[in-house]
Structure formats: structure tokens, C-alpha cells
């Protein structure tokens, strides 16, 4: 028994994503000598900080088979781009401080 193909659930998966950005500031050496430090740097980093898309799923960034079972991966070429509702890429924010004495 063969099933009929349908494009009913097909949607545009185009997206624009800000993947990784890091902004930092290193303090001048002349200022650091007065407080007896050789290096001082502060920074902020963000990953997956924005995604622009009209895709209705959790994440438009689909791998070959996202969250598929063994039976579904048996014919992986047929599952290319199929959304099996895997985990979306998380947003991550990091603040940091590098100090050298």
C-alpha cells in the first residue's frame, strides 16, 4: 500500500538568525597600573540571540533528521527537511571578566 504525497504541510523554512556575537572592552594599560593589574577586560556574548522567520515550528534550522526514531531514519533521504519537533537552539547570554594581576 502506497500513500499519496501532499504539499498541505509544506511551508517556507527561510530564516535569518544572529548566531554569535561578542562585545568587549579592554581597559588601557596606563589606567591599570594605578590599581596594580596587568590586564582587565569585560565582555558580553550572545548566541542565537534572534531569529526572523515565518516558520511555525519550534526551529527552522532542521538537520538531516531532527529527533527521528530508528524506523524514520531507515530511509533518511525521504526525511530530509522533515521537522520531527526536535529541541530548538537555545538562546544563551554570557557576561565575563578577564583579570590578570
Evaluate whether 25 touches 41 at the Cβ level (below 8 Å): yes
Block means of pLDDT (10 residues each) for the chain, length 101 residues? Answer: 70 92 96 92 96 89 57 58 78 96 90
Domain ranges of the chain: 15-52+86-101
How far apart are the C-alpha atoms of 4 and 10, rounded to whole Å? 14
Taking the whole predicted model, whether its pTM rises above 0.85 is answered as: no
The set of cell numbers assigned to 62 is 532542521
Q: Residue 66: its pLDDT value, please?
A: 46
H or E stretch including 32?
helix 29-34
Amino acid at each position: 500500500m502506497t500513500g499519496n504525497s501532499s504539499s498541505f504541510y509544506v511551508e517556507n523554512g527561510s530564516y535569518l538568525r544572529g548566531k554569535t556575537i561578542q562585545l568587549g572592552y579592554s581597559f588601557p594599560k596606563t589606567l591599570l597600573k594605578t590599581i596594580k593589574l596587568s590586564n582587565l577586560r569585560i565582555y558580553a556574548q550572545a548566541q542565537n540571540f534572534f531569529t526572523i522567520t515565518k516558520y511555525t515550528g519550534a526551529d527552522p534550522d532542521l538537520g538531516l533528521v531532527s529527533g527521528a526514531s530508528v524506523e524514520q531514519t531507515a530511509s533518511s533521504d525521504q526525511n530530509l527537511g522533515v521537522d520531527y519537533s526536535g529541541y530548538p537552539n537555545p538562546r544563551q547570554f554570557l557576561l565575563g571578566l578577564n583579570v590578570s594581576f
